[in-house]
Every structure is written in C-alpha cells, then in structure tokens.
C-alpha cells in the first residue's frame, strides 16, 4: 500500500521500512485488524528499538479488549525504553522520573490522541487522520507543541474540535483519558501494579 505524504502520521525519524509498516498498520486498523497487528509486529521485529511501534500495538490490543496481550506489550515496551534509557529493567527499582523525561515526551506524541478525539466526535478516521496531519504541520511551522495551538487554530482543521480537546493534548491528559482496565490513567496503573505484585508474590 502506497501513501501520499498528507496521509501519513508523523512517527518521528524512523527507518523508511519501519515507518511504512506503521503507516500500513494504522491504515488497516479498522478495516483489517489482523493485518494491522501483523504490520505492527513486523515493525518491532525489524527494529526492536522503535518505541512508537509498541504504542501502536498496545492501542490495537486495547481497542480489541485483548488486555493480556496489551499488558505484555506494555512490559516489552517498558523493557525496551529502559534499555534505551540505560536504566534498570526492573520497574520496582525505579524512582520518580526527572523533568527531562516528561519534556522528552512532549512534541507531537499526542497526535494519535487528537485523531481518537475526532473519531469519537463522529469524524471518519481518514478525515481525522488528515486533520491531525495539518495540525502537526501547523504546530511545526509555529515551533510549538500541539497544546500550543489555540482553539481557533485547531478548529480550522475540524469544526468538531471544542475546548475539551486540550484535556487530551497534554501528556498528562493523554494518560488520564485511558481510564479502563489496561489503560494508562494513574488509578489504572496503580491497580495494575497491585495485581502484578500479587502475581509476583
């Protein structure tokens, strides 16, 4: 499957073959979930250090309510992130993250959250994908993160965007919005830690 530049999500500086697999996965996520899963897994196999691929696979399993698979993906994701950061892979030894870690998560990490927001508002996924691409390009041009765009600027890309969009455009808002089993909301993470500790004895 070929993509025009305007159809692509910005996953950052990735090897072209890996980026193409992620684009394939995103494009087929709703129409062919099996193909999407295969594409995300192929991206990880091709380059295990591609952290966006783990996020895509996690979101895929989460949407399909395959929570055991989603949980395992998160563990693999954390292990690879820890390896790349040069810290212990044992999460029980982790301490509070420095501000520089949160700073590294800023930028366009919440672009997919904006797409999810628009889809939930009733916009077809392809149109949401296009709107997000335009928003990211505008943010890049202005030299700001997505939350740095004004409501009026965001509404240029879709009239469905309202003031509540800013609750999902920050890293903290993105995490908090997934308040379900296997989600990233703080209370869900705490519950998962409790379950993990019981499992580990």
- What digits encode the pLDDT tens for the residues 122-180? 999 888 888 998 998 888 888 888 888 999 999 999 999 999 998 888 767 777 777 67
Residue 121: predicted pLDDT:
92
Judging by beta carbons within 10 Å of its beta carbon (0-12, 13-18, 19+), is residue 163 exposed, middle or buried? exposed
Q: What's the average model confidence in pLDDT over 46-66?
A: 86
C-alpha pair distances (Å), 86 with each of 52, 79, 99, 127, 161 = 18, 10, 17, 40, 39
CB 174 within 8 A of CB 113: yes
- What digits encode the pLDDT tens for the residues 10-42? 777 778 888 888 888 888 888 888 998 999 999
Residue 4: predicted pLDDT:
40
Residue 1: predicted pLDDT:
39
Spatial distance between the Cα atoms of 53 and 77, rounded to a whole number of angstroms: 9
């Amino acid at each position: 499957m070929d993509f025009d530049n305007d159809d692509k999500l910005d996953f950052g500086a990735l090897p072209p073959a890996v980026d193409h697999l992620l684009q394939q996965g995103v494009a087929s996520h709703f129409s062919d979930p099996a193909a999407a899963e295969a594409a995300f897994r192929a991206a990880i196999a091709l380059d295990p250090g591609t952290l966006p691929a783990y996020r895509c696979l996690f979101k895929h399993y989460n949407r399909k309510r395959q929570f055991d698979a989603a949980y395992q993906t998160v563990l693999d994701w954390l292990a690879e992130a820890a390896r790349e950061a040069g810290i212990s892979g044992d999460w029980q030894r982790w301490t509070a993250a420095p501000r520089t870690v949160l700073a590294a998560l800023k930028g366009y990490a919440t672009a997919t959250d904006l797409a999810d927001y628009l889809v939930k508002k009733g916009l077809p996924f392809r149109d949401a994908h296009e709107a997000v691409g335009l928003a990211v390009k505008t943010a890049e041009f202005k030299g700001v993160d997505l939350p740095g765009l004004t409501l009026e600027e965001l509404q240029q890309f879709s009239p469905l965007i309202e003031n509540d969009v800013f609750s999902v455009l920050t890293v903290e808002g993105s995490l908090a919005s997934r308040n379900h089993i296997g989600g990233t909301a703080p209370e869900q993470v705490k519950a998962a830690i409790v379950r993990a500790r019981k499992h580990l004895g």
